[in-house]
Structure 1
Amino acid sequence: MSMKDSKPNLSNFQITGIVERLFGFTPSSIRPLPSYDDQNFIVTTLEGKEYVLKKRGLPVQTVLPTLTGQLMSLEEIDCGFGVKSYMVRLMTYLPGTVLGKMTCTPQILYETGKIAATVDNVLLQMEHPCLESLQRKNFIWSLASVPLLKQYLPVIDGDPMQQIVKGVIEQYQIQVEPKLSSFRKCINHGDFNDHNILVESDDSSNYKIAGILDFGDMSSGYFIFELAITLTYMMIENSSPLDVGGPVIAGWESVIPLNEAEKDALYVLVLSRLCQSLVLGRHAVLQQPENEEYLMLTAKTGVRILFLLWQKGKEEVMRIWLQSAAEYAENYQGAGTKK
């Protein structure tokens, strides 16, 4: 089955029926949200209810049970290409503005690095009888699966980017894979990007993290994976991508200081995440051409950043990032993040 056939395409009429039958209330409005390979909506009740829940100090959504007490319901739905099975769930709504629509100051980048580390620290404490399912062997979006990109290289045949992607995969196998045992294990959120982070203004002129979205890419991994993913996506929308590393790393290390093996792998891991996003995004567009605008968000500037980091090289990039991180750590930790 292609991704095009598997991605749901429910009408508002179908959504209304599902919400009424499973959750017992009638939507007053239904608004679509962008998504990669599922279908998401904001559903407002006739009473105008919205919910916000904080777990262990983190502003996250929670799943609302169905009328029969289930957290998910497997539904047989015809979206226009035959009846297929789809998992349906309803979650509380978190207000705020996605970080991707903001101009990211060093202060909010520092807070983003800090909250990313905090999330992984909290997930490390998670207990569940099905926790082993997060091993997700060969999960293509895990940074443990970078070599699997080789099978997708034909989608960038003829593109100058292909040689860099091949080089990054090679460097991953030489510099990262042998050192995995030196990285500290955790459970990764896995998709800490600027469209999964909500912000709102605080009492001063700064912004604070107001919500963390989309835990669908959670998997067993390493702390350094999460930092690399966060740093990668924070660079995408920034006009000075090399300047992002300092505050993000400083924020991260205010919670989880890096060991030497993790520092040494960071550059290649950031390049690896860029390659995953660019190559898999190109592949997804072939399957879902109608969703090209959303799928290619990273590609708009991602290719330029990939070339920039590759050309500057590991030594220069890490020098910039770590020197800047030390400066931000002194400024923010010494005077608080309101500075």
Structure 2
Amino acid sequence: MSSGVDQQSQVPAKPTFGEVQASALVESVFGLKVSKIQPLPSYDDQNFHVYTSRTKDTTDGPTEYVLKISNTETSKNPDLIEVQSHIIMFLKAAGFPTASVCRTKGDNITSLVSVDSGSEVKSYLVRLLTYLPGRPVAEIPVSLQLLYDIGRLAAKLDKTLEKFHHPKLSSLQRKNFIWNLKNVPLLEEYLHALGQNQTREIVEQVIQLFKEEVMTKLSHFRECINHGDLNDHNILIESSKSACGDAEYRVSGILDFSDMSCGYYVFEVAITIMYMMIESKSPMQVGGHVLAGFESIIPLTAAERGALFLLVCSRFCQSLVIAAHSCQLYPENKDYLMITAKTGWKHLQQMFDMGQKAVEEIWFETAKSYESGISM
């Protein structure tokens, strides 16, 4: 297992490159002439939307890219970045709508760049991916069919990765990675960010239940590689007109593979359900449609289904607690960090108020309705 960020349950420092610096990186490392560059929202890495100019040597091919600058902690783990990049290429070759990974002038897929700030020298891994067009799911009213399709996509992705092999695959065994769903107990280190209130009490209950009811049953779950972050901003869609003139949406892009790690099938569907609930006007109905899509490819076992409610609650807790902690560190990035929190606390509270049995009944009955061809 590789060393670096995953040996520490800490929130890493985000890079702070300016547009001029980022533009110079693209030209010096990748040999492309930048015509325009602008920052993209991000969590703890730094991303830029890059527009390039055509030259006499590049009359075809893409002109828009995403420059990804990894934070200092992740940059200490080049094996992990290499594996993630190869997974993106593997999935693209398998027909998934992922970006293409661009080569450096030295024909590598990453470059380590050192910056002297005066007091210290910091090193950052940089990559360049082709830009994927489309709108994030967060910007549209999500139909039941799209929820089903997204659940199916999550399962197909994990299923396809069963065939992925790489000599450095062990780097995905991210023991103390704060975003791996297995590591919910690590949230105890960050509870101070919530203060003393009812929301903290719910999180403490979820952590305790997780220790008792999930950690003791992990051996009953089937292992796989998880994308780990199929949220409503990492799935892009494109619209087309249906036969009756209505807009129909299909997935046109999958973004951000930086949270990939070894996990379990049930983790992927739980994470996907949680994020699809965020913008929904009927959040408790979401899970059944996502689950039906997922189970059309990978039916869950009884043990996996029994853990689903608590795993969704646990992902809410991860997102909400880490966001609160990150806001204390980076208040200037509060708007982006608190996207989930706007409705997340309300949804988590509602799940707790309804209880596992009532929520499961909705999810499982909805999923079952697809078997008869009548979705609820």
* Deviation of 1:8 (Å): 1.1
SS at match of 2:206: helix
Pair 1:259 & 2:273 matched: no
Matched with 1:188 is 226
Cα distance between partner residues in 1 of 2:191 and 2:350: 21
Bigger drift between 49-58 and 136-145 goes to 49-58
Matched with 1:138 is 176
Amino acid paired to 1:207: Y
Cα distance between partner residues in 2 of 1:93 and 1:155: 35
Cα distance between partner residues in 1 of 2:12 and 2:165: 35
Matched with 1:100 is 138
Amino acid paired to 1:49: T
Matched with 1:114 is 152
Question: Residues 315-326 of structure 1 correspond to what in structure 2 (within 5 A)?
Answer: 315-326=357-368
Counterpart pick for 1:87 among 117, 120, 125: 125
Cα distance between partner residues in 2 of 1:226 and 1:72: 27
Pair 1:236 & 2:243 matched: no
SS at match of 1:29: strand
SS at match of 1:331: coil
Amino acid paired to 2:304: E
Cα distance between partner residues in 2 of 1:4 and 1:78: 22
TM (normalized to structure 2)? 0.84
Cα distance between partner residues in 2 of 1:4 and 1:76: 21
Matched with 1:280 is 322
Counterpart pick for 1:151 among 166, 184, 189: 189
Cα distance between partner residues in 2 of 1:87 and 1:73: 6
Amino acid paired to 1:310: F
Aligned-residue Cα RMSD (Å) equals 2.0
Q: Write the deviation string for residues 92-112 of structure 1: whole angstroms up to 9, x where unpaired.
A: 111111111111010111111
* Deviation of 1:194 (Å): 0.5
Pair 1:30 & 2:37 matched: yes
SS at match of 1:123: helix
Q: Write the deviation string for residues 211-259 of structure 1: whole angstroms up to 9, x where unpaired.
A: 1001000000000000000000000111110011111011101110111
* Deviation of 1:328 (Å): 3.3
Q: Write the deviation string for residues 281-333 of structure 1: whole angstroms up to 9, x where unpaired.
A: 10011111100000010100000001000111100000011001112343379
* Deviation of 1:159 (Å): 2.2
Cα distance between partner residues in 2 of 1:200 and 1:6: 34
Amino acid paired to 1:103: P
Cα distance between partner residues in 1 of 2:240 and 2:156: 20
- Alpha-carbon contact 1:66-1:72 (below 8 Å) kept: yes
* Deviation of 1:26 (Å): 1.0
Matched with 1:337 is none
Distance of aligned partners of 1:79 and 1:327 in 2 relative to their CA distance in 1, 3 Å threshold: farther
- Alpha-carbon contact 1:5-1:81 (below 8 Å) kept: no
- Alpha-carbon contact 2:38-2:50 (below 8 Å) kept: yes
- Note the residue ranges of structure 2 that are not aligned, 5 or more in a row: 55-61, 66-87
* Deviation of 1:82 (Å): 5.1
Report which structure shows greater RCO (CA 8 Å, sep ≥6): 1
Cα distance between partner residues in 2 of 1:329 and 1:30: 48
* Deviation of 1:160 (Å): 1.1
* Deviation of 1:50 (Å): 4.2
Amino acid paired to 1:266: L
- Alpha-carbon contact 1:168-1:271 (below 8 Å) kept: yes
Pair 1:213 & 2:251 matched: no
Matched with 1:12 is 19
- Alpha-carbon contact 1:155-1:279 (below 8 Å) kept: yes
Amino acid paired to 2:49: I
Matched with 1:304 is 346
Bigger drift between 250-259 and 55-64 goes to 55-64
- Alpha-carbon contact 1:231-1:245 (below 8 Å) kept: yes
Cα distance between partner residues in 2 of 1:240 and 1:301: 12
Distance of aligned partners of 1:328 and 1:81 in 2 relative to their CA distance in 1, 3 Å threshold: farther
- Alpha-carbon contact 2:19-2:39 (below 8 Å) kept: no
Matched with 1:336 is none
Cα distance between partner residues in 1 of 2:162 and 2:352: 33
Bigger drift between 157-166 and 185-194 goes to 157-166
TM (normalized to structure 1)? 0.93
Cα distance between partner residues in 1 of 2:189 and 2:25: 38
Bigger drift between 49-58 and 222-231 goes to 49-58
Matched with 2:337 is 295
Bigger drift between 132-141 and 320-329 goes to 320-329
Counterpart pick for 1:72 among 106, 110, 116: 110
Paired residues in the alignment total 332
- Note the residue ranges of structure 1 that are not aligned, 5 or more in a row: 334-339
